[in-house]
Amino acid sequence: MKFATHFLAAALGLALAAPLPALAQQSPAPAKMQFIVADASSSGTYKEMLGQVKGVCNSDDYDIVEADVKGGATDNLAALLANKVSAAFLHSDVIYFYGRTEPKYHDYKTLVALYPEDIHIVALRSSGIKAGGYAGTGIGAKVVEFTTMTDLAGYKVGAAGGGVITARILSGEGEGHFDVVQYNSGADVLAALGKNEIQAAVFVGGAPLTNVAALSADAYKLLSINEAAATRLSGVYRRTTINYVNLHSDNVPTLAPMATIVTRKYTVAKFVAPQRRFRECFYAGLTELQETPGNHPKWQLVNPDDHGVWEWYEFLGSPALAK
């Protein structure tokens, strides 16, 4: 009996001394694929639409990340050039403007084309400017009326953000021949217009723009862009019309660049992969984006067969992903 007791104790001691089996090593979770996008805009439209894309495309292994960029289209493009982001929202005339003289901008391509961003040229209903009259006395002088863009020749036109680029193109290549005055925000532009510091304001964005829709027809009006200017700028803009009931304006002829998400050309596979994933998911989810109640109305104007006006990004070896 005593022998049995000693044997049991010895066996138990050996068992306790035996090394425990190694715990199974868990493999670390694969790194989540990220795609960083600059979406700053004065109207907030880019931010809203990117948020809706994230709702469709973000998943356990893929994240579209909103970059901390302030301002508008030019700031988004600057962040892309500085390699702070993978892609940037902008209206297509911004990159066109710089690409005319600097070849490096042609290294950046259209990842997806969105919708036309209408050019709004806003002026006071009455300019308050008098011209003509007898021998400089002012007798018989008449108030200057602005109806079309070309009426602004020699006057001042204000803009902010990417709208400054648009205004410069309209004044130069569009032969509007007005002086472009840059402001920090759209609110500053409207304030300057109300004080007669400028004679018109340029805003760019999908109609209806909130700030323009809030204006009164008693004080403000929209100016058209004439056919001759539209023809000169046909390689940059598309013809369109805008309507604002509040300004008693119906079918005002204007032009539109394309809202575009631009990215750089990568050659390393791990950087190309998030680009492919974005485009693939964007077009696969487009119908859902268009049909989801509460989503931005501009989704209805996104055409998957429309590559926009800036250079299209072709993925090498994968024509199916080039749409």
List the end-to-end C-alpha distance of the chain, in Å, as a whole number. Answer: 86
Query: Mean of the pLDDT values across residues 200-227?
Result: 93
Among the residues of 100-185, which ranges form H helices?
A: 162-171
195 Cβ contact partners less than 8 Å away, ≥ 6 residues apart: none
pLDDT of residue 248: 92
Name the residue ranges covered by the structural domains of the chain: 33-115+259-322, 119-256
pLDDT of residue 28: 60
Binned at pLDDT 50, 70 and 90, residue 30 comes out as low
pLDDT of residue 45: 86
Residue 220 CA to residue 230 CA, distance in Å, equals 23
Domain formed by 33-115+259-322, architecture = 3-Layer(aba) Sandwich (3.40)
Model confidence over 105-132: pLDDT tens digits? 999 999 999 999 999 999 999 887 777 5
Residue range 119-256 in CATH 3.40.190.10: yes
Q: At what angle do helices 73-81 and 92-99 cross, to 10 degrees?
A: 60
Burial letters 202-228, b for 16+ CB under 10 A, else e:
bbbbbbbbebbeebeeeebbbbbbbee
DSSP-assigned states of every residue in 4-21? HHHHHHHHHHHHHHSPPP
pLDDT of residue 10: 47
Model confidence over 191-206: pLDDT tens digits? 999 999 999 999 998 8
**What rounded mean pLDDT belongs to the chain?**
87
Model confidence over 133-155: pLDDT tens digits? 555 555 656 778 899 999 999 99
- What is the identity of the amino acid at 209? L
DSSP classification of residue 32: P
Domains 33-115+259-322 and 119-256 share a fold: yes
Query: Mean of the pLDDT values across residues 59-85?
Result: 94
Query: Mean of the pLDDT values across residues 293-298?
Result: 92
